[in-house]
Amino acid sequence: MPTADTYVRARIDVATKERATAALDEIGLSVSDAIRLLMRRIAEERRLPFDVKAPSASSLQALADIEAGKIEHFATVDDLMADLHADD
């Protein structure tokens, strides 16, 4: 096994790091171990070891509509249900 002689750095929010560290502790790995395993797998398989999917065109449009404030909002579930059944 090659000697570890370089660093990989990544910024991540504290809560995610704490949750991931706790999960890794439960299976007996450190964060560094997990990163090494991930990087080796990527190097060997030349892909991520899990699916990464791009959002569809309709998802991208929905996100844009949300950001633009074009999505209708309801104060309560009853209001939403009334709107859904308005044409009944």
CATH of the domain at 38: 1.10.1220.10
Range of the domain at 75: 54-87
| Same domain (yes/no): 37, 79 | no
Q: How many structural domains comprise the chain?
A: 2
Q: pTM for the full model?
A: 0.57
As to burial, measured by CB atoms within 10 angstroms (0-12 exposed, 13-18 middle, 19+ buried), residue 14 is exposed
CB 48 within 8 A of CB 42: yes
Handedness of CA 44, 4, 21, 53 (dihedral sign): negative
CB 42 within 8 A of CB 49: yes
| Same domain (yes/no): 3, 46 | yes
Full pLDDT tens readout for the chain, 88 residues:
678 889 999 999 999 999 999 999 999 999 999 999 999 999 999 999 999 888 899 999 999 999 999 988 899 999 999 999 998 8
